[in-house]
């Protein structure tokens, strides 16, 4: 079996940058790495981007275009394809899988939308548990600054209140899921990467 690592955090936490750096770190050590993300680029992921993320004038905050439950089911369907078509076979082939977001995103975000956490956990029970989840944590004020510098924005990104709730949810989930380790995402890209590597070595290689 390979190694499964997930990077989580609010929008603008620096997940994709850190996922890429970690993938390169593993590659340099000679591992075969699969760098992936959710929502995926498959048909389900595309559907999510079309129905949920691109918003519309009404957006997803005030009167979602689809119900919150349907949204959660779409994310779960996308994840089921992700697990069965990519994550599981890659792990079985002994590879290192690094995913930018996973079911913890559904727990943090869809819970923030008012859905029942236990229902969300049940819905995602099929999802293979990762060996390590790195939660990039930072204040929303800081993440919003980073997002504003990005050219493409989603409806999600704009809403500070939701992000605050999502951050709180992630921190609460860290108390419930022992595989979640919190990393301070306020530091420089390099320092955060070094913290992540230290965690990986400590948690997975027991150095
Ligand atoms: P994001 O990682 O920002 O993707 P991209 O940069 O490609 O647009 O994810 C898009 C949004 O989807 C983000 O605000 C978090 C949200 N999301 C959920 O609400 N639930 C989920 O299960 C996942 C995977 C993402």
pLDDT at 49: 84
Compute, in angstroms, the gap from residue 38 CA to the centroid of ligand 1.
Answer: 7
pLDDT at 123: 98
Question: What average pLDDT score do residues 81-110 get?
Answer: 98
Our mutation pick for probing the ligand 1 site, out of 11, 12, 45, counting the most ligand atoms within 8 A of Cβ, is: 11
Is the predicted pLDDT of residue 59 greater than 70, yes or no? no
CA distance linking residue 141 with residue 163, whole number of Å: 10
Q: Which pLDDT band holds residue 62 (cuts at 50, 70, 90)?
A: very low
Per DSSP, helices labelled H in 114-159 are: 117-123, 140-148, 155-158
Q: Is 71 in the pocket of ligand 1 (CB under 6 A)?
A: no
Q: Is 75 in the pocket of ligand 1 (CB under 6 A)?
A: yes
Digit-coded pLDDT (tens) for 135-155: 999 999 899 888 765 644 555
Atom of ligand 1 nearest to the CA of 106: 22
Find all residues with CB under 8 Å of 112, minimum gap 6, and list them: 162, 165, 166, 169
Our mutation pick for probing the ligand 1 site, out of 44, 49, 53, counting the most ligand atoms within 8 A of Cβ, is: 53
Q: Is 53 in the pocket of ligand 1 (CB under 6 A)?
A: yes
Q: How many domains does the chain have?
A: 1
Q: Is 127 in the pocket of ligand 1 (CB under 6 A)?
A: no
Owner of token pair 């992936």: 36
Digit-coded pLDDT (tens) for 148-197: 656 445 555 557 888 999 999 999 999 999 999 999 999 999 999 999 99
Q: Is 105 in the pocket of ligand 1 (CB under 6 A)?
A: yes
pLDDT at 207: 62
Q: What's the Cα-to-Cα distance from 153 to each of 64, 158, 194, rounded to whole Å?
A: 17, 8, 29
Strand order in the sheet with 132-137: 33-37, 96-100, 3-9, 132-137, 180-184
CATH code of the domain containing 46: 3.40.50.300
Digit-coded pLDDT (tens) for 17-43: 999 999 999 999 999 999 999 999 999
Q: What is the mean pLDDT of the chain?
A: 90
Other Cβ atoms less than 10 A from the Cβ of 109: the count is 25
Range of the domain at 59: 3-204
CA distance linking residue 124 with residue 166, whole number of Å: 18
pLDDT at 70: 92
Question: What average pLDDT score do residues 87-99 get?
Answer: 98
pTM, two decimal places: 0.92
Owner of token pair 């944590």: 137
Q: Report which protein residue has its CA nearest ligand 1's atom 17.
A: 105
Atom of ligand 1 nearest to the CA of 102: 24
What the block records as the tokens of 141 is 């004020």
Measure the N-to-C terminal CA separation of the chain; round to a whole number of Å: 20
Our mutation pick for probing the ligand 1 site, out of 156, 161, 163, 169, counting the most ligand atoms within 8 A of Cβ, is: 156
Is the predicted pLDDT of residue 60 greater than 60, yes or no? no
Is the predicted pLDDT of residue 77 greater than 50, yes or no? yes
Q: Is 165 in the pocket of ligand 1 (CB under 6 A)?
A: no
pLDDT > 90: what percent of the chain? Answer: 75
């Amino acid at each position: 079996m390979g190694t499964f690592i997930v990077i989580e955090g609010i929008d603008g936490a620096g997940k994709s940058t850190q996922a890429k750096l970690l993938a390169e770190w593993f590659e340099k050590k000679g591992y075969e790495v699969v760098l992936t993300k959710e929502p995926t680029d498959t048909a389900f992921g595309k559907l999510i981007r079309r129905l949920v993320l691109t918003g519309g004038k009404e957006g997803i905050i005030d009167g979602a275009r689809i119900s919150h439950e349907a949204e959660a089911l779409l994310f779960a369907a996308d994840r089921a394809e992700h697990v069965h078509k990519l994550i599981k076979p890659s792990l079985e082939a002994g590879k290192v899988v690094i995913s930018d977001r996973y079911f913890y995103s559904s727990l943090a975000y869809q819970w923030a939308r008012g859905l029942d956490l236990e229902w969300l956990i049940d819905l995602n029970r099929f999802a293979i548990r990762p060996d390590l989840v790195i939660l990039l944590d930072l204040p929303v004020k800081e993440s919003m600054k980073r997002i504003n510098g990005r050219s493409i924005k989603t409806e999600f990104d704009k809403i500070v209140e939701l992000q605050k709730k999502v951050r709180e949810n992630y921190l609460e989930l860290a108390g419930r899921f022992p595989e979640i380790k919190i990393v301070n995402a306020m530091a420089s890209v390099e320092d955060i990467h070094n913290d992540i590597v230290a965690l990986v070595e400590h948690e997975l290689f027991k150095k």
